[in-house]
Structure 1
Amino acid sequence: MTTHHEILEAALARITTGYVFPERAATIDAAIRRRLAEGAYRGLEVRELCERVTDDLQKACADKHLRLLWTEEPQPMDEEPEDVARARFARYARENNYGIRRVEQLDDHIGYLDLRMIAPADLGGPAIAAAMQLLAPTEALVIDLRQCRGGAPEGVQLWCSYFFADDGVHLNDIYERATDSTRQYWTLGHLAAPRYLDRPVAVLTGDLTFSGGEELAYNLKAQGRATLIGRTTRGGAHPTTRIPVAPHVTVTVPTARSVNPVTGTNWEGVGVEPDLAVAAGEELKAALEHLRTRLVDSRTDLTAEQGRRSSPAASGAAPGRGAG
């Protein structure tokens, strides 16, 4: 049986070699070793150890992706072959409908999309296109991210692309420690379903919205493409690697970080703030009221514009009597 000391040694080694902010790794290491020396973890069950260490990790470094996790099922300690890992995740994504829980047309031609996960683009692309095809006839859209707890950057890129006209929008950058390189994410030029343009979009956020769900909300807000309604999100902006350190214990190590090209920063530790803050349970109602107001204003503006275009002055006709 793996001892607490062995679990912590393995976890700290992974954090030291992989954490995206290497200058903070020494502080984290010292804090956990001090707690170990104080006897803070003595007598704990392994599940309790994970909870206590996670709390101490995040006190030492305010990074919500930095965790020690208990898993019910024992996991192999040997590194899983890449093709096996891909197949396992593909099955998980398929069983969860690639994160798309619900697509619906509500009253007043308002679409509703409930997203629980941001699937990788190569896996979720057809399902994402199908959802956007169903939403294409609507005049406004609610994207519900209140229970979206993560996902893939390429999936966020694909979802975002549907809300912009072309491939000219710089959405996000991700810096990776291992390669000391930065990858840029731009909107995509080719999509398998119609783009959702020139129509209002409201995004629902809550205190469960995390990681990839936060990136989707943050990107759309930073670009001025959506109104965020709800509550501030959890605040996890760092892509993360999961590494087994014992049969039932995994350490999660943030190995990269997001840098938004508009804000120059990200939402790590602070969350994504809504444009309109409302109480839990009131988000959808508030979003529908907001979108209905936007639609009424848009139709009023359109009617006024059509009136101006059809007026005699606009058409160049001279006032006067017609022939009798």
Structure 2
Amino acid sequence: MTTPTLFRPAPVIDETVELLIEHYVFPEVSEQLTVLLRQRLAEGAYDVGGAEELAPLVTADLQSVNGDRHLRLKYHADSVPAGQGAAALAAMRRDFDSSLGGAPRVESLSEGVAVVELAPMLFPLEWAAEPLSAALTLASRSRALIVDLRANLGGDPNTVAFVCGYLLDERTHLNTMYWRDGERYEQSWSAAHVPGARFGGSKPLYILTSDRTFSGAEELTYDLQQLGRAVVVGERTGGGAHPREGWTVHPHLEATIPVGRAVNPVSGTNWEGTGIQPDVPCAAADALDRAHALALTRLTG
């Protein structure tokens, strides 16, 4: 009879601590978290039967200092590849293929109002440029546009800028990202030219949100709201403004660690922790009907 291998949390905690120290955008917080995780390990708080049980315990501790929802130990039921970003990339590709490239719905509503749903995320631009261009070009002929982000959990800042290029008339400064690596700032601008046709920067634009709308989807919402380009309809969003990277620290565990922070050129801040307050608050389930009614009123007013 073979003796079952006992799950050892110490290597997972040690590697997660090293990643925090090296990469977390807030070094002073990483120092506090290092002390906390090592203390909890010594106390036996992580003496559990396996990776699935460990993940929520460590995640709760990681988020206990400053509430950063991008800071997680994420469990994957399927074994994930080793290395930086490998776990997320494998899952992302499956979602991309099953969601028509991140634009699962383009629909014409009454009176020339169109809705484009972008979900479940804003995929890497090298994948998503073609399907997003097709969806947004198709909707460009509408008199008013509703962009549905209620089920969008985040994504690529470059894809955010690409989408904004279809919704504005000219190249526009959208966001500035501070990266801990090299302590550098990087500006994000909408594209001066886009493949296909623009909806443009003058026709009525509405963005639908829920409390699940998160990260890159929040950036798209926040950028356009701060520019005064879009009316946000729905629920306050999740409040995650820190771009993150993921590292495999166990065959079924990924440490996700924010490596930067957003600074909006209009507000001088971001939506971290607070979420984005909609201009027209309502239940997420009612947001499409509410935005459609607003669009019709504006078009006929």
In the superposition, the TM-score normalised over structure 2's length comes to 0.92
Q: Aligned Cα RMSD in Å?
A: 2.1
> Is residue 100 from structure 1 mapped to residue 92 from structure 2 by the alignment?
no
1:240 to 244, 248, 255: 244
**Between 132-141 and 227-236, the greater mean CA deviation after superposition:** 132-141
Alignment correspondent of 2:128: 124
- Cα distance, 1:176 vs. partner? 1.1
| CA distance in 1 between partners of 2:92 and 2:61 (Å) | 30
| CA distance in 2 between partners of 1:94 and 1:281 (Å) | 26
| CA distance in 2 between partners of 1:278 and 1:93 (Å) | 29
Q: State the Cα deviation string for residues 30-87 of structure 1 (Å, max 9, x = none).
A: 222232233322335321210111111111221100000111112243x3799x9979
1:259 to 260, 263, 281: 263
Alignment correspondent of 1:13: 18
What SS class does the counterpart of residue 274 from structure 1 fall into?
coil
Check conservation: 1:28, 1:61, Cα contact below 8 A. no
Alignment correspondent of 2:293: 289
**Between 223-232 and 55-64, the greater mean CA deviation after superposition:** 55-64
- Cα distance, 1:247 vs. partner? 1.1
Q: State the Cα deviation string for residues 283-320 of structure 1 (Å, max 9, x = none).
A: 111111111111112xxxxxxxxxxxxxxxxxxxxxxx
1:48 to 35, 53, 62: 53
Equivalences for residues 53-202 of structure 1 within 5 A: 53-77=58-82, 79=83, 93-116=96-119, 117-167=121-171, 169-197=172-200, 198-202=202-206
Alignment correspondent of 2:224: 220
Q: What percentage of residue pairs aligned between the two structures are identical?
A: 37
Alignment correspondent of 1:306: none
Check conservation: 2:174, 2:264, Cα contact below 8 A. yes
Task: Return the letter of the residue paired with 2:247.
Answer: I
Computing the radius of gyration from Cα coordinates, the structure with the larger value is 1
What SS class does the counterpart of residue 241 from structure 1 fall into?
strand
Task: Return the letter of the residue paired with 2:173.
Answer: H
What SS class does the counterpart of residue 194 from structure 1 fall into?
coil
Check conservation: 1:221, 1:227, Cα contact below 8 A. yes
Task: Return the letter of the residue paired with 1:27.
Answer: Q
In the superposition, the TM-score normalised over structure 1's length comes to 0.85
Residues 34 and 85 (structure 1 numbering): CA distance in 2 closer, same or farther, change over 3 Å? closer
Could you tell me which runs of 5 or more consecutive residues in structure 2 were left unpaired when the two chains were aligned: none
| CA distance in 1 between partners of 2:91 and 2:105 (Å) | 24
2:44 to 39, 64, 85: 39
Aligned residues: 294
Stretches (4+) displaced over 4 A: 84-92
Residues 287 and 72 (structure 1 numbering): CA distance in 2 closer, same or farther, change over 3 Å? same
Q: State the Cα deviation string for residues 79-109 of structure 1 (Å, max 9, x = none).
A: 3799x99798667534432211100111111
Could you tell me which runs of 5 or more consecutive residues in structure 1 were left unpaired when the two chains were aligned: 298-324
Residues 92 and 206 (structure 1 numbering): CA distance in 2 closer, same or farther, change over 3 Å? closer
| CA distance in 2 between partners of 1:106 and 1:278 (Å) | 20
